[in-house]
Copies of this chain bind each other. A is one copy, B any other.
Amino acid sequence: MTQQFSLPTPTRYFMTASGTEGHSKLNAFDNALLAAKIGNLNLLRVSSILPPGCLFVPNLKIPEGSLVPVAYGSIISDIPGKIISAAMAIGFAKKDTYGVIMEYTGECGAEEAERTITEMVEKAFFIRQMDLKDIKTVAVEHQIVKIGCAFAAIPMWY
């Protein structure tokens, strides 16, 4: 009963990332969403907890135009040759509870982005005094041709 009088808590998620070029900065972003398979949705950016019991479903189908809660990181640049990266991570606790989501974007390679985000998750667990069981990450790097976007996301759905 409560469920229908609050915003429903997501029960399924996946992880995705992409690097793309575009005609404008917003088109580069739009193209990154398409390449990440979430281009035809209405993304609602959230900050950023994986609800308890939320299931990993890699090929989750979501109806076009849906309102989809998503944690994401995005970086756009128009400096040719520049390398940009976006990464998302989820830290899972030893006891069965929520996961902690972190995002990172920077002018660096994907490896550095993953190293940085891993450390961010570790700090988030330390401050919560929770034991970290596992970290899942997704990262992408993109070298700018003209106008490009690196994008990583954790879409959540039902």
Contacts and interface: CB of A to CB of B under 8 A. Distances in A.
Q: Is the interface of A mostly helix, strand, loop or mixed?
A: mixed
Contacts of A30: 100, 102, 124, 127
Given A5-B3, A63-B9, A51 B46 contact: no
A8 B67 contact: yes
A103 interface: yes
A52 interface: yes
A45 to B, nearest CB: 8
Interface of A: 2-10, 22-24, 26-27, 29-31, 33-34, 39-52, 54, 63-69, 71, 97-98, 100, 102-104, 116, 119-120, 123-124, 127-128, 156-158
